[in-house]
Structure 1
Amino acid sequence: MRALLTVIVIAALAWSIYWAVGSTGVNTAFNTWFEDRRSEGWVAEVSALETKGFPNRFDTTFSDVSLADPETGLAWEAPFFQIFALSYKPNHVIAVWPNEQRIATPLAKYDLASEDMRASLVTQAATTLPLDRLTLTAEALSVLEEGAREPTRAKALTLAVERQSVAENSYRLGFKADGFSPALDWRVQIDPNGTLPDTLDALSADLTVDFDAPWDINAIQTARPQPRKINLRLAEARWGQLELQAAGEMTVDAAGIPEGEITIKARNWRDILKLAVETGAIPEGFAGSLEDGLSLMSQLAGNPKTLDIPLGLRGGRVLLGPVPIGPAPRLVLR
Structure 2
Amino acid sequence: MFRAFIGIGLAAAAVVGLWAGGETLASRRVAELIAGDPALQATLVRPLRQPPQFGMRIEQPAFADPAGGIALPWAELQISPQSPTTARLILPEEGQVTITGQAHMLGLDEPHATVRLAPLKRLAPDHIAVTAEQVTLDSQPVIEGLDLDMQMTRLGPDAPLAARAAYQARVGVGAVQTRLLSQMGLDLHGIPDPVSLGGDVLLWLDGTPSVRGQATPSVVGWQTEGLTIGAGPMSLRVVGRIVRDPNGLAEGQVALYTADARQMIDQASQMGLIPGPARMLLSAGLEQLAKTPIDADLPGPDFPEPAQGQVRLPVQLSGGQILLGGIPIGAAPPFGAI
TM-score by length of 1: 0.72
- Residue 242 of structure 1 is matched in structure 2 by 234
Q: 2:128 aligns with which of 134, 137, 151?
A: 134
- Residue 79 of structure 1 is matched in structure 2 by 73
RMSD: 3.9
Pairing 1:284-299 to 2, within 5 Å after superposition: 284=276, 286-298=278-290
- Residue 194 of structure 2 is matched in structure 1 by 199
Give the secondary structure class of the aligned counterpart of 1:81.
Answer: strand
Structure 2 counterpart of 1:236, one-letter code: T
Cα separation, 1, equivalents of 2:172 and 2:242: 22
Give the secondary structure class of the aligned counterpart of 2:264.
Answer: helix
Seen in structure 2, the aligned counterparts of structure 1 residues 238 and 216 have a Cα distance that, compared at 3 Å, is same
Q: Is the 8 A contact 2:109 2:132 kept in 1?
A: yes
Deviations 1:23-69 (A, max 9, x none): 981133213442575488787543462424423x2253223335679
Measured after TM superposition, the shift of residue 188 of structure 1 is: 8.1
Cα separation, 2, equivalents of 1:245 and 1:66: 35
Structure 1 counterpart of 2:51, one-letter code: F
Measured after TM superposition, the shift of residue 157 of structure 1 is: 0.3
- Residue 323 of structure 1 is matched in structure 2 by 327
- Residue 25 of structure 1 is matched in structure 2 by 22
Cα separation, 1, equivalents of 2:21 and 2:165: 33
- Residue 178 of structure 1 is matched in structure 2 by 174
Q: Is the 8 A contact 1:27 1:51 kept in 2?
A: no
Give the secondary structure class of the aligned counterpart of 1:95.
Answer: strand
Q: 1:161 aligns with which of 150, 158, 177?
A: 150
Cα separation, 2, equivalents of 1:266 and 1:99: 38
Q: Is the 8 A contact 2:155 2:166 kept in 1?
A: yes
Measured after TM superposition, the shift of residue 128 of structure 1 is: 4.8
Measured after TM superposition, the shift of residue 136 of structure 1 is: 0.5
Cα separation, 2, equivalents of 1:288 and 1:40: 47
Gaps of 5+ in 2: 1-17, 157-163, 293-304
Cα separation, 2, equivalents of 1:314 and 1:97: 43
Measured after TM superposition, the shift of residue 315 of structure 1 is: 1.5
Q: Is the 8 A contact 1:152 1:182 kept in 2?
A: no
Measured after TM superposition, the shift of residue 319 of structure 1 is: 1.3
Q: 2:58 aligned with 1:54, yes or no?
A: no
Q: Is the 8 A contact 1:226 1:332 kept in 2?
A: no
Gaps of 5+ in 1: 1-20, 145-149
Q: Is the 8 A contact 1:311 1:320 kept in 2?
A: yes
Cα separation, 2, equivalents of 1:277 and 1:36: 43
Q: Which deviates more, 175-184 or 324-333?
A: 324-333
- Residue 224 of structure 1 is matched in structure 2 by 216
TM-score by length of 2: 0.71
Q: 1:121 aligns with which of 103, 115, 118?
A: 115
Cα separation, 1, equivalents of 2:313 and 2:59: 50
Cα separation, 1, equivalents of 2:136 and 2:289: 40
Q: Is the 8 A contact 1:295 1:304 kept in 2?
A: no
Seen in structure 2, the aligned counterparts of structure 1 residues 151 and 329 have a Cα distance that, compared at 3 Å, is farther
Cα separation, 2, equivalents of 1:45 and 1:302: 50
Seen in structure 2, the aligned counterparts of structure 1 residues 67 and 32 have a Cα distance that, compared at 3 Å, is farther
Cα separation, 2, equivalents of 1:214 and 1:104: 31
Seen in structure 2, the aligned counterparts of structure 1 residues 117 and 328 have a Cα distance that, compared at 3 Å, is farther
- Residue 12 of structure 1 is matched in structure 2 by none
Percent identity reads 19
User: Highest CA radius of gyration, 1 or 2?
Assistant: 1
Cα separation, 2, equivalents of 1:207 and 1:118: 21
- Residue 204 of structure 2 is matched in structure 1 by 210
Q: Is the 8 A contact 1:118 1:138 kept in 2?
A: yes
Q: Which deviates more, 160-169 or 276-285?
A: 276-285
Cα separation, 2, equivalents of 1:23 and 1:109: 43
Structure 2 counterpart of 1:27, one-letter code: T
